[in-house]
Chain A
Amino acid sequence: MACILIYSEEGLWATLIETILSEQGIELAVARNPEQLRRMTVSRSYEVVIIVGVGLLRRGEGWLLRLRPYRLRPPEIYLVAWQHGEQTVLGMLECGVDQYMTLPLHPGRLRAKVMQALAE
């Protein structure tokens, strides 16, 4: 069964993305803080990790390396954030984020991209 991890410090966005991606054959896990995220990534592996907001990656704690320790896919790392600036987006992509989706978000588009990633 494919497993997707959603990280969001705000419950509403986690519920939004959970509802968008809910499907038979897909297991969804939600982390609300870095400590919870650390425990969940240690215990099992995921096909896709969706992070809401750039705050986690800007802490300087090397989260991208922690999520992908051997620099091999999976997991695919998707970032959903409000920042539209070219420097921010390019910076995140260069650091290793696979998809950067700006808010406002199209629910159908997110779902299509995640399903495509799972199908590959």
Chain B
Amino acid sequence: MIQIPYICYSIVVGLLLLRLLGKIAYTACLRRQQRGLDEVARRVVARWMARPWIAEEERLLLPFSRSSVDRMRLAETLSRLISATYGADRTTLQMIVRAYGLERYLLRRARRSRGLRRACCLRLLADLPLGERAMAEVARYRMDRQREVRFAALLVQLAAQPEQMLRLVAEYDEPMRGAEIAEILHLLRRGALPIAYQPLLAASNENLNRIGFALVVQFGIEQAEPELLRLVARTGRVGVRALYVLAALHRPMQRRVVILRIRRLSPAERRSLLRYMVSQEYTAEQLRSLFGAVESPYSERLVASYKRSLVCLKSS
């Protein structure tokens, strides 16, 4: 009977000690991981910057083993660095990928997993320099059941064969989501997809048109106005989107083709376009000339409802 409290006390103390040791070990692991990530960043970037104070043989000596966890951490770190920079030399990356067998490792993981895990592996692959073997293996994921996997496979192919962008995107069957278009634009900003807006706007594929629209808006390409006016005349969503792009660039909308297109919109679409043009700082006079005396007072009520003062910087 005397021993029972003693046993309970020993168990409790033992559990607390285990918990404390576990916490210490976990913190040490995290610190090691962070030091490793920092070291990867330092060495890879140092090579990119051609800093002479790090010796050649040290530049590729990274504090990572070939274990699964370390290779995944290395791939994630490289992916984050590459997606946040551009203009860097890819030779160092190719050496690291070869030295750690990252391509084979990620392909194997993608093969053995499903769904979002597979998509994650493919996205990491998209940021790394790949060989022909990877391209052949990734092609089959374009038929996967999961949309995220199909799009991740597209990203891998775009990264490896940027000159085939028009064909690869045209083969993507579904209408792209806004987030997917943003991902492709991110590749463009990094210089990974050397393409101009003209072939994107001239294509008959809706996804290519949408990428072209996003490109024109993001870079403020006013020279695209003639192509946009031609697209406004098209029926369907492409024509409506072209109107929004013209408004985003704050181009003059008092064109015959634009006025005719606005008249063909449904009342809800007209109101939505009116709201957007108000946010793009079109004046009341411009809106009245496009939407008439019946609908345009809505824009004045909308502006009056704003709780802070607005300054219209551009006049007609």
Contact = CB atoms under 8 A, between A and B. Distances in A.
Interface of A: 11-13, 15-16, 18-20, 22, 84, 86, 103-109, 111
Contact of B85 (A84, A86, A105): A105
Given A105-B84, A106-B87, A107-B49, A19 B41 contact: yes
B229 to A, nearest CB: 23
Contacts of B37: 11-12, 15
Given A11-B34, A84-B218, A107 B41 contact: no
B87 A16 contact: no
Interface string B236-277: 000000000000000000000000000000000000000000
B56 interface: no
B111 interface: no
Interface string B58-101: 00000000000000000001001101111110000000000000
DSSP class of B's interface residues: helix, strand, loop or mixed? helix
Given A12-B77, A12-B80, A103-B84, A111 B41 contact: no
Q: Determine the interface band of chain B, counting residues with CB < 8 A from chain A.
A: 20 to 34
A20 B84 contact: no
Interface of B: 34, 37-38, 41-42, 45-46, 48-49, 51, 77, 80-81, 83-88, 186, 189-190, 218, 220
A5 to B, nearest CB: 18
A101 B38 CA distance: 22
Contacts of B218: 84
Nearest to A13: B84
Contacts of B186: 104
A111 B45 CA distance: 12
A22 B84 contact: no
A20 B80 contact: no
Nearest to A108: B87
Contact of A15 (B41, B51, B87): B41
